[in-house]
Amino acid sequence: MTTVTAPTTPAGPATAPAVAGPAATPAARRREVPGVALGVLGVLAFLAVWEVVPRAGLVRATYLPPASEVLRTLAREAGRAGFWTAMGDTVVAWALGLAIAFGAAVVLGFVVGAVPVLRDFTASTVEFLRPIPSVALIPLAALLFATDIRSTLLLVVYAAFWQVYVQVLYGVVDVDPVAEDTARSYGLSRWSRVRHVTWPTALPYVLTGLRLGAAVALILAVTAELVIGSPGLGQEIAVAESSGATSVVYALVIATGALGVAVNVVVRLAERRLLRWHPSVRGEVAA
Amino acid sequence: MTRVALRAGQVLGLPVVLVLVWWYASVTSQNYYLPTPGVIASTFGHVWTADRLTTDALPSVVRLLTGFALAGVLGVALGVPIGSSPRLRALTEPVLEFFRAIPPPVLVPVLILFAGIDGTMKVAVIVSGCVWPILLNTVEGVRAVDPVLADTCRSYGIRGTTRLRTLVLRSASPQIMAGLRQALSIAIILMVISEMFAASSGLGFTIVQFQRSFAIPEMWTGIVLLGLLGFALAMLFGVVERRVLSWYHGLRRTARGSD
């Protein structure tokens, strides 16, 4: 359902004031400040519980070290060059895989989406290949590329490609026929129509695909590192786990979580920036 | 008649071409890693006998479904109160968002510490990875309940379980289903890698064993089986989703038609 409802959110004129609204009215702003404070309180409470549970002996500290110890380990890890190399490896595999998948999916999606015959003949294959979990490719990747970065890339590209491709297809099909006919009547060339009619229509969908693909790409990047042993944070976690360095495992899990948050934030910012024009254009059309 | 033929061509054309291309490539290249589709198909019958399916594949699928169901119940049960209370939401949102951002596979080594490598660990891994998209989508869905409908319910004195069932869960169901769909693909990933990472049985374990012993056609049959499983689960989910959300799709169609 995200695939259908999510793209309409940035486009829907009704949501535009809702996004701008709360910050604009003073009453809402007064409510917003305690919201942040409550959030901080929530995080602190979570850390406090995490600190108390192992210290009180409810869970053995060898299984769950107290929060303070894990955070100290995280700080120590952050001072280690190997940690940042691993972080860099994960980020490179993620970014490269996502870029390849995104580029291929956008190009193919626009071509296939624009030609109904191609769409009809590829639909069954897409519907079959899309739900295949890309972890099924782990043994193949391990055989072909061993612990090379290409193992990670194979999984990341396969998983992220479908997320973007399907969204691009939705977007290309969603073109307003009146806009398309108008562009045709004014004698716009095929390329201009793609540039000025199809692309703006599809952009919210493309960016939704990018957002979903970015999250999936990170999951698969870490999976490949964890299971196959290609370099990155996942491999560091596997090594720490097998050597019994529990607090290092937790510290690295927090680090991957932070990476996940960073990925979400960056993609969301990009989405908001690139679609800034969108509701306003819709507003002008409606007026 | 020609219409039926055209439709069959559309559905089967490309898959047939792809299989033929694969066949041609595997016959001509002599690549050790690339057996012909024929070899894979005949090996499939040998490897995945009824016996092996019940000892290796079935427990995996049962764990997958158990974990997925538990995550669904947990996610919705926690999501409804959090979504209905702005205060609770503000309190928990940063922590929950962080948990969602953690790529679920890294939970596998953490949970091995707690639960060892038995079936409980694998179900726990699946639950702890799947619950976040369901929980956060439920929160979003409950939060976005149409205020007019909420007021109507209040005027008519509808509250308690009736309100929950007819207003809250119903309004949130498109979002909840979206969360469940994301969770299902995460569940499959977690089922496979929890078995690949540490296990003595199961689908993921068997496939990795084939790969490590260079039993290439057998490994390919495992990949095919996982593919079929993913496909079947997605189909099944599609059927359930269409049933649960038929009212919603109808609503959207009407809304679109009147535009």
As a whole-number percent, the residues of chain A with pLDDT over 70 amount to: 85
**pLDDT beyond 50 at B228:** yes
| Cβ A207 vs Cβ A216: under 8 Å | no
* Cβ atoms within 10 Å of B122's Cβ, excluding its own: 30
Q: Is the CB of A243 inside 8 Å of chain B's CB atoms?
A: no
**pLDDT beyond 80 at B197:** no
Q: Is the CB of A68 inside 8 Å of chain B's CB atoms?
A: no
A20-34, A191-205, A227-241: the lowest-pLDDT one: A20-34
Query: Average pLDDT of A74-89?
Result: 88
Query: Average pLDDT of A3-30?
Result: 39
> Measured between CB atoms, which of B197, B210, B233 is closest to A226?
B197
Render pLDDT for A247-267 as a digit per residue (tens, 0 to 9).
888 999 999 999 999 998 998
Q: What share of residues in chain B are helix, strand, coil (percent, to 5)?
A: 85, 0, 15
Rounded Cα–Cα distance for residues B154 and B163 (Å): 9
| Cβ B185 vs Cβ B233: under 8 Å | no
A185-199, B24-38, B124-138: the lowest-pLDDT one: B24-38
| Cβ B19 vs Cβ B37: under 8 Å | yes
Angstrom distances, CA of residue B235 to CA of A128, A130, A219, B238, B240: 10, 11, 23, 5, 9
| Residue type for position A124 | S
pLDDT score at B217 = 81
Rounded Cα–Cα distance for residues B12 and A18 (Å): 47
| Cβ A129 vs Cβ B19: under 8 Å | no
What average pLDDT does chain B have? 83
Rounded Cα–Cα distance for residues B98 and B121 (Å): 22
Rounded Cα–Cα distance for residues B55 and B97 (Å): 38
DSSP track, A198-247 = IHHHHHHHHHHHHHHHHHHHHHHHHHHHHHT--SSHHHHHHHHHHTT-HH
pLDDT score at B76 = 92
pLDDT score at A242 = 84
**Segment of A52-56, A92-96, B17-21, B239-243 carrying the highest mean pLDDT:** A92-96
pLDDT score at A1 = 35
* Cβ atoms within 10 Å of B27's Cβ, excluding its own: 11
pLDDT band at B159, cuts 50/70/90?
A: confident
A-B CB pairs within 8 A amount to 180
pLDDT score at A258 = 92
Kindly provide the ipTM of the predicted complex, given to two decimals: 0.81
pLDDT score at B164 = 81
Residues of B in contact with A213 (CB under 8 A): none
pLDDT score at B68 = 93
Residues of B in contact with A5 (CB under 8 A): 174-175, 178
Q: Is the CB of A131 inside 8 Å of chain B's CB atoms?
A: yes
Rounded Cα–Cα distance for residues B224 and B127 (Å): 25
Q: Is the CB of B92 inside 8 Å of chain A's CB atoms?
A: yes
* CA nearest neighbour of A50 among A36, A71, A35: A71
Render pLDDT for B60-117 as a digit per residue (tens, 0 to 9).
888 899 999 999 999 999 998 898 888 888 888 889 888 888 888 888 888 877 766 6
pLDDT score at A96 = 94
A2-6, A196-200, B58-62, B106-110: the lowest-pLDDT one: A2-6
pLDDT score at B114 = 74
| Cβ A162 vs Cβ A212: under 8 Å | no
Q: Is the CB of B197 inside 8 Å of chain A's CB atoms?
A: yes
A61 phi and psi angles, rounded to 5 deg: -65, -20
> Measured between CB atoms, which of B101, B186, B192 is closest to A257?
B101
| Cβ A90 vs Cβ A234: under 8 Å | yes
Query: Average pLDDT of A30-52?
Result: 80
Rounded Cα–Cα distance for residues B93 and A242 (Å): 33
Render pLDDT for A122-131 as a digit per residue (tens, 0 to 9).
887 888 888 7
pLDDT score at A11 = 37
Q: Provide the token pair at B255.
A: 């809304």
* Cβ atoms within 10 Å of A203's Cβ, excluding its own: 19
Q: Is the CB of A235 inside 8 Å of chain B's CB atoms?
A: no
* Cβ atoms within 10 Å of B123's Cβ, excluding its own: 24
Query: Average pLDDT of A242-246?
Result: 84
Instruction: Please tell me the distance in Å from B230's CA to the nearest CA on chain A.
Output: 5
Query: Average pLDDT of A13-28?
Result: 40
Task: For helices B169-197 and B203-212, give the axis angle rounded to 10 degrees.
Answer: 30
pLDDT score at B67 = 92
Angstrom distances, CA of residue B46 to CA of A133, B41, B52, B217, B227: 23, 9, 10, 11, 18
**pLDDT beyond 80 at A97:** yes
Tokens 């992220």 identify what position?
A: A160
Query: Average pLDDT of B168-190?
Result: 87
Rounded Cα–Cα distance for residues A250 and A151 (Å): 25
Rounded Cα–Cα distance for residues A67 and A53 (Å): 10
Task: Calculate ∠ Cα A171-A173-A179, nearest 5°.
Answer: 95
pLDDT score at B134 = 92
List, in order, residues 6 or more apart from A120 with CB less than 8 Å away.
Answer: B10
pLDDT band at A101, cuts 50/70/90?
A: very high
* CA nearest neighbour of B183 among B227, B128, B238: B128
| Cβ B207 vs Cβ B83: under 8 Å | no
pLDDT score at B190 = 87
pLDDT score at B100 = 86
Q: Do B110 and A253 touch (CB under 8 A)?
A: yes
pLDDT score at B105 = 87
| Cβ B75 vs Cβ B217: under 8 Å | no
**Residue in A closest to B198 by C-alpha:** A227
Render pLDDT for A177-189 as a digit per residue (tens, 0 to 9).
888 889 889 988 8
As a whole-number percent, the residues of chain A with pLDDT over 90 amount to: 16
Rounded Cα–Cα distance for residues B66 and A284 (Å): 51
Render pLDDT for B34-70 as a digit per residue (tens, 0 to 9).
777 777 788 787 777 777 777 778 888 888 999 999 9
